[in-house]
Amino acid sequence: MGNYTEEINRRRTFAIISHPDAGKTTLTEKFLLYGGAINLAGSVKGKATARHAVSDWMEIEKERGISVTSSVLQFEYDGYCINILDTPGHQDFSEDTYRTLMAADSAVMVIDASKGVEAQTRKLFKVCGMRGIPIFTFINKMDRDARDTFELLDDIEKELGIATCPVNWPIGSGKAFQGVYDREKKCVIAYSDTEKGTKEGKATEVTVEDEANLRKLLGDEAADKLLGEIELLDGASAEFDLEMVRAGQLTPVCFGSALTNFGVEIFLKHFLNMTTTPLPRKADIGMIEPTEQEFSAFVFKIQANMNKAHRDRVAFMRICSGKFDANMEVRHVQGNKVMRLSQPQQIMADERKILSEAYAGDIIGVFDPGIFSIGDTICMPKDKFQYEGIPTFAPEHFARVRQMDTMKRKQFVKGIEQIAQEGAIQIFQEYNTGMEEIIVGVVGVLQFDVLKYRLENEYNVEIRLENLPYEHIRWIANKEEVDLAKLTGTSDMKKVKDMKGNPLLLFVNSWSIGMTLDRNKGLVLTEFSRN
């Protein structure tokens, strides 16, 4: 299969997930700092003059200080080629996170040491569980007062149902934070406040056996506490088991502070040691091995207008096998077309680099003339397999969209269709009318704001949203056997169709779903559709 096995095996592709404000973007930047990809970490929420975080590029993200879309960052470190997929922390964008996790081989979960597991961490973790991917935990913000360490671990185990194995152990927190104890090396790595935007300073290491120096370094009280905790820890915590980690049943835990840069490189080294080379992917012909098959990829994200100057759309692909060459011809399976991928690029936030080659594990962006959909497979012209589809989540909020200026119908339809193709919103039409009536469904209400903002700023179209009372949506699984016109529903049911013409039912109340099923024998409803 050529000499690209080595290139593929040095790839590591992971997503970073967290509750908003747990410090995910800061951690991402520090990783890039170690990889030499950036020289000075920019502050995310700093003053208006400060540089925005590298991975937040959309205007609305800069204004609100939250990540709305997932960005892809690649850097080299210690012989590895690392692809980081940064995900939105806000739950209103959990669908984007789910699709991004489809492209990752493992996930790094960032938890705020003072808050523990938060609502959004729970939701995102569930999403990781659906994929069964390995999860590595970084407990951040140890430079602030933190919850009791045993409590934090207990919280993760109870809330998320995953065993924890601390790789290191914090000594104090907040002003009393002194560093971490490395369980494998059996030594204390002392913390010294480094320049916030620079790499780690010189770390002092003292073994636990050297008790005199340990007491000198930490003080008697902290040393006694640490020695007691180590004893407890060795008796109480789960044994480290790499197979369980890779099966997503055990999470290795590291402690540190991304802001002050302590523990980040320690975590990165442990993580790279435990994480895997690109994993095989499931297709309709069986599992596709990264090194044994020629080039193949799937589309997991589409982003329109990444560059305001050029009305462009970029389809992001995860390469699953083999080597990509910019001059090669490939088959777009769903469109049944052999083509060259146009302007293949690697994207570092909003900076782009045109690529001549890439390997399994890498993420590439290609120009999309409007032919790709999320979940599409790209492979060699002689092949015709398809990777399994990416589920579409059921929206929970619905609104009718009206444009303010009827003369701008064309821009309006184009804008709303393009944004829908990115998967952030879903659009429906009344079952028996044309495009006149458009209903938008979203997983989280913040998506409505993003839609409004983007239509105004990117397509110059003003809209008014009128909230609808529906909260439940069901796809009709056996649509060929069902005559929609004769379907007997409840008074709070509405018939709509999606952009592909598939029939759907909207309900205000959940009990109406059961009643509709009772009244229409043989009807099969599902909560999500696979593209």
Other CB atoms within 10 Å distance of the CB of residue 218: 22
**Tokens matching residue 408:** 């701008």
Q: Tell me the CB-side half-sphere exposure of residue 373, using CA atoms within 13 A.
A: 15
Report the distance separating Cα 207 and Cα 184, nearest Å. 11
Q: Are 87 and 300 in contact (CB under 8 A)?
A: no
Contact 473, 505 (CB under 8 A): yes
| Residues sharing a CB contact under 8 Å with residue 269, sequence separation 6 or more, in sequence order | 78
Residue with tokens 């009280």: 221
Which residue blocks in 310-363 are alpha helix, DSSP H? none
Is there a shared CATH topology between the 12-68+88-274 domain and the 281-379 domain? no
User: What angle is formed at CA 182 by the lines to CA 179 and CA 187, rounded to 5 degrees?
Assistant: 85
pTM recorded for the entire structure: 0.77
Q: How far apart are the C-alpha atoms of 507 and 186, rounded to whole Å?
A: 59
Q: Which of 380, 371, 375, 382 is nearest to 324 (CA)?
A: 380
Q: For the domain 393-530, what is the CATH code?
A: 3.30.70.3280
Domain ranges in the chain are 12-68+88-274, 281-379, 393-530
379 touches 322 (CB < 8 A): no
Quote the pLDDT of residue 309: 55
CA torsion, points 45, 49, 50, 55, in degrees to nearest 10? 70
3-state secondary structure at position 394: coil
Among 257, 313, 308, CA closest to 138: 257
Q: Which CATH class is domain 12-68+88-274?
A: alpha beta
Tokens 């951690």, residue? 27
What pLDDT does residue 423 have?
74
Do residues 84 and 113 lie in contact, with contact meaning Cβ atoms separated by under 8 Å?
A: no
Residue 36 has a pLDDT of: 67
CATH fold of 281-379 reads Elongation Factor Tu (Ef-tu); domain 3 (2.40.30)
pLDDT tens-digit map of 228-257: 888 888 776 677 888 999 888 999 999 999
How far is the first Cα of the chain from the last one, in angstroms, to the nearest whole number?
A: 31
For the chain, state the CA radius of gyration.
Answer: 25
The full length of the chain comes to: 531
- Which residues of the chain carry a pLDDT beneath 70? 1-2, 36-71, 88-95, 120, 192-203, 236-237, 304-311, 347-352, 391-392, 433-436, 528-531
- Name, in order, each residue with C-beta under 8 angstroms of 275's C-beta and a sequence gap of 6 or more: 12, 14, 105, 106, 134, 136
504 to each of 398, 472, 474, 513, how far by Cα in Å? 13, 10, 6, 12
Write down the pLDDT at residue 202.
58
For residue 109, which of 252, 262, 244 has the smallest C-alpha distance? 252
